[in-house]
Structure formats: C-alpha cells, structure tokens
Amino acid sequence: MRLIILGAAAGGGFPQWNCRCRNCRLAWAGGALPRTQCSVAVSADERRWLLLNAAPDLRQQIAATPALHPKHGLRDSPIQAVLLTGGDVDACAGLLHLREGQPFDLFAVPATLDALAADPIFAVLHPERVPRLRLPFEQPCEIGFGLTVEIYAVPGKVPLWREGEHEPDLASERGEAVGVRVSTETGARFHFIPGCARLSPRLRERLAGEPLVLFDGTLFTDDEMIQAGVGSKTGRRMGHMSMQGPNGSMAALGELAIGRKVYVHINNTNPVLLDGSAERLAAEAAGFEIAFDGMEIELS
Ligand code: MLT
Ligand code: MN
Ligand code: ZN
C-alpha cells in the first residue's frame, strides 16, 4: 500500500491567503515550505487511488502528483473513490474540482452526506456517475481496488459552518468527527484522523500498536492563535486537541506503541511548520514526523 500526502496543512493552508502571522510572513517571503490543505491519496496497486478528503487545493494537488494524472484514452482518472471524514470546507470543497462527468464513488457517514445533500452546488457531481455511499460506523467495508475502510467516531464537533448560534458540543463521540482505518488484504493498514478533540479510552485502544497513524496536528499550544494575534479561538473551541502538554497528543499518542506517528492538518500558526524550530525538534524527539506535501509512505 502506498500513501501520498497531497496536502499537510489545516483549513486555510500555509501560508493562508489573508494571513501575516509570523509563520505566514516567513512563508510568503519564501523562508518556509508552503503546504496545501489536508488530503491523502492511497492505493493498493499504485494504479487506482482513494482520496481521503477533497481539499479546496485538489486541482493543484493533482497537478503536482503524476500518479493522479489521467493515463488512458480521452477522459480518465486514476481516482476511483473519495472518502470524506467530515463536512468542513477544507475536507470537501475539492469535490467541486471533480465535476466534468468522471465517475467515482463518494463515501462518507450519513451526517456528512446529508450536509452535501443540503447544498445544491454539489449537484454538479451527478449521482448516476458519482454515487454517494453511506459508510456504517465500525464496520470494515471493501470499496474495491484492494482497499478496505472502516470509519469510527472520534471526539469532535460539527463542521464550523453548521455550528449555528450556540456553542456546540465540542468533544462528543457521536460521529460529528470521524477517523478512518484503511487496510489491504495483506495486512497493511493505517489510520487517518485529521480532527480530534481528545484521545478517549476507545480511541486509545483502537490506535495502540498500530503501524501508522496520521493525526490531527492543528495547533502546538491550545491558545496559539490567540497568542499569534490572528483569532480568538482556542484549539479546544475548534475541536482540535493540541500537541503540547500533559493532555496533548504528543504525550497521549506517545504511550501507545504506534509504529509511525505523522502529524497532518497542521495550522499555519503552528511553529512545527518551521524547519529547526524548538517545537519541531521537540515533536521529532518525541517520535513524530511533520507531514509535507508530496510525502510518500510505503506500507507492507
Ligand atoms: C477545522 O478543522 O477546524 C476546520 O477546517 C475549520 C474550518 O472549516 O475553517
Ligand atoms: Mn479542518
Ligand atoms: Zn498565518
């Protein structure tokens, strides 16, 4: 099984179009590696690919990834299916790049498919060519081309644009946020969890001993966006646990004997984005890798 990280940044990307925080200023000036919004391509045969989330940057991500270029005849795509882990803009706006009549399967849990159904612009993906397939929770599903996916609830909240006026439940485990385990018949497998509010006992149990986990790397510290002067929200309020601290993801995942731990969905304010920063070195010393666009991982 091969994975390609198409985009490693959180919503907004790095640099973000309207941001001049310390990190983004560096990136605008060419002093830091830019990253597009979070998406992963995965294949069992290196011919047919599943996308985990369709980021707003998908067109650029396809252009940068030869494996995803059309290969045969007049109209073609190696992208056989797209699986959405949620209805946030950074997870699903890229579906709009996949219009033009190309068939593929679209997988998500009911709440995410309902959100798409409520928005008429997604009708550009005609259901005859792009069937919307509901994934049941905690049931491995063969999706074809050698891949099996299993969706499970992780602590999190509804998409930002569905929050309404009242603060939502920020860390429910009812399926507002999901993780996915992708596996092949030969036993290769990994988990993709781009948004997670806390590491619940159930999630710990699920991830313990697994060979690879791609995990929510939105913020290094909970109040990082406030400290950077770019916003008033904590990570907690956004449904993202931060990396640092006794309740952070570095400590929590560090106890679970996971083979390889890779941070994805990294917000543009996060200092781990900068090569050589103290925070990058701390994450690496704790056994974490910081994903970048184009990063490839081979699993057997
Ligand atoms: C998030 O992960 O918190 C969301 O992407 C926020 C957003 O949609 O901007
Ligand atoms: Mn996001
Ligand atoms: Zn920024």
Selection from 90, 91, 88, 65 nearest residue 78 by Cα: 65
- Within 10 angstroms of residue 259's Cβ, the number of other Cβ atoms is 12
At 105 the pLDDT is 98
How confident is the model over 39-93, as pLDDT tens digits? Answer: 999 999 999 999 999 999 999 999 999 999 999 999 999 999 999 999 999 999 9
At 166 the pLDDT is 86
Q: Which ligand is the nearest neighbour of the Cα of 16?
A: 3
Q: Tell me how far the alpha carbon of residue 238 lies from the centroid of ligand 1, in angstroms.
A: 7
CA 198 → CA 12, 109, 173, 243, 251, distances in Å?
A: 22, 20, 10, 11, 12
Sequence-ordered strand ranges (E) for the chain: 2-7, 39-43, 49-52, 79-83, 105-108, 132-134, 141-144, 147-156, 172-183, 189-193, 212-216, 260-264, 288-290, 296-298
Query: What value does the mean pLDDT of the chain take?
Result: 97
pLDDT tops 90 at residue 176? no
CA 55 – CA 62 distance, rounded (Å)? 11
Task: Work out the pLDDT band at 15, boundaries 50, 70, 90.
Answer: very high
At 148 the pLDDT is 98
Phi then psi for residue 201, to 5 deg, are -55, -40
| Helix residue ranges per DSSP H, 64-134 | 89-92, 110-117
pTM for the whole structure: 0.98
Task: Work out the pLDDT band at 196, boundaries 50, 70, 90.
Answer: very high
Q: Tell me how far the alpha carbon of residue 75 lies from the centroid of ligand 2, in angstroms.
A: 31
Ligand 1 atom closest to Cα of 218?
Answer: 2
User: Closest residue (by CA) to atom 3 of ligand 1?
Assistant: 238
At 292 the pLDDT is 99
How confident is the model over 225-251, as pLDDT tens digits? Answer: 999 999 999 999 999 999 999 999 999
Ligand 1 atom closest to Cα of 160?
Answer: 8
Q: Which residues surround ligand 3, an ion (CB under 5 A)?
A: 16, 19, 21, 24, 268
At 165 the pLDDT is 86
How confident is the model over 139-160, as pLDDT tens digits? Answer: 999 999 999 999 999 999 999 9
Q: Tell me how far the alpha carbon of residue 159 lies from the centroid of ligand 1, in angstroms.
A: 7
Encoded tokens for 147:
């891949």
To test ligand 1's pocket by mutation, which of 18, 36, 160 has the most ligand atoms within 8 angstroms of CB? 160
User: Closest residue (by CA) to atom 2 of ligand 1?
Assistant: 11
Give ligand 1 pocket residues (Cβ under 6 A): 10-11, 88-90, 160, 195, 238
pLDDT tops 90 at residue 120? yes
CA 218 – CA 269 distance, rounded (Å)? 9
Q: Kindly report which listed range (166-180, 183-197, 260-274) carries the lowest average pLDDT score.
A: 166-180
Q: Tell me how far the alpha carbon of residue 193 lies from the centroid of ligand 1, in angstroms.
A: 14
How does DSSP classify residue 129? T
Mean pLDDT score, 190-203: 98
At 299 the pLDDT is 98
Q: Tell me how far the alpha carbon of residue 221 lies from the centroid of ligand 3, in angstroms.
A: 15
Q: Tell me how far the alpha carbon of residue 197 lies from the centroid of ligand 1, in angstroms.
A: 13
How confident is the model over 127-139, as pLDDT tens digits? Answer: 999 999 999 999 9
pLDDT tops 90 at residue 221? yes
